[in-house]
Amino acid sequence: MSRFAERLEAVRDRVRATGRDLEEITIVAVTKGRPLEVCREALAAGLRALGENRVQEALPKLDALPEAEWHLVGHLQSNKVRQVAGRFRLIQSLDSLRLAELLAEREGGQRVLLEVNVSREPAKKGVVPEDAVAVARQIGDLLPLEGLMGLGPQSADPEPAFRELAELRQRCQDASGRALPILSMGMSGDFEAACRAGSTMLRLGRVLFENPVP
Ligand SMILES: *Cc1c(COP(=O)(O)O)cnc(C)c1O
C-alpha cells in the first residue's frame, strides 16, 4: 500500500469511529500547492474528487488530469468567472448572489455550493448565516445549487458552528423546496467534529498528503 493509501485508510478509520457510514461521505483531496504526481497518487488510491483553492493554479491541473472531478474550494473573484465557468464539477465557494449571476450568464449549468461564514470570523469568506436562507433561494433560481459549505472556527470548538451549518441546510431546503444533498464541512484539523455534525463532504489536505501518518 502507498503512503497515501495508508493515510487515507487512517482517515477512513477515524470517520468510522465517529459512527458515520463512509458511504454517506465524499472525501475531496485538496491538492493546492501540491504537484501533479501527488494528484495522481490520490486518483490511484481510488479518490475521484480533487479540490483547489486558486483558479490560476487549478486550470493547468484540470487540463493535465481531466479524469478527476475538480472542485474549486477557494474564493472566486468576479474577474475570473469567465475562466472557470463550466470547468469545475463543483464550485464550493460561491459567496454572493452577484457571483451567481455572473456565472449563470456564462454557464447556466454550473453546480455550486453556497459558502456560509458560520465561524463568524471576519477574515473568512461566505455569506453571514442570517442571510443564508434568502441568498440560497435566489441562487437556486439561477444555478444548480447542491448544498452549503463552511469552515470551522480556528480556535473554538468547531462542532457548534458545524451544527449551525447543518441546521441552515435544513432551513434552506424547507424554504426553497429543493433538495440540498451536500454539506461540505471538515478539514484536516476538524473533520471528526464535522462528521459528528452531519457532514457529507470532507475537504482534506494535510492529513492525506503529509507525513507522519496522524
Ligand atoms: C486548504 C483547504 C482545505 C484543506 O485544508 P487541510 O487543513 O490541509 O486539510 C480545505 N478547505 C479549504 C477551503 C482550503 O482552502
Domain boundaries, the chain: 3-209
CB atoms within 10 A of CB 75: 17
* Amino acid letter, 117: N
pTM: 0.96
Interval between CA 207 and ligand 1 midpoint (Å): 10
pLDDT band for 213, please (50, 70, 90 cuts): low
Does 3.30.70.260 match the CATH number of domain 3-209? no
**Cβ contacts of residue 29 below 8 Å, gap of 6+?**
39, 42, 47, 49, 50, 51, 204, 205, 208, 209
Give the Cα separation of 49 and 128 in Å (integer).
27
Residue whose Cα lies nearest atom 6 of ligand 1: it is 205
DSSP string, 42-108: HHHTT--EEEES-HHHHHHHHHH-TTSEEEE-S---GGGHHHHTTTSSEEEEE--HHHHHHHHHH-T
Residue whose Cα lies nearest atom 7 of ligand 1: it is 188
Take residue 150 and report the three cell numbers written for it: 463552511
Q: Which of 15, 30, 119 to mutate to test the pocket of ligand 1 (most atoms within 8 A of CB)?
A: 30
Take residue 169 and report the three cell numbers written for it: 441546510
| Residue range 27-73, pLDDT digits in tens | 999 999 999 999 999 999 999 999 999 999 999 999 999 999 999 99
Residue whose Cα lies nearest atom 10 of ligand 1: it is 203
Interval between CA 21 and ligand 1 midpoint (Å): 22
Q: Which of 7, 73, 91 to mutate to test the pocket of ligand 1 (most atoms within 8 A of CB)?
A: 73
Mean pLDDT of the chain: 95
Residue bearing cell 473573484: 77
Residue ranges around ligand 1 (CB below 6 Å): 30, 32, 53, 73-74, 187-189, 203-207
Take residue 50 and report the three cell numbers written for it: 480533487
Residue whose Cα lies nearest atom 5 of ligand 1: it is 205
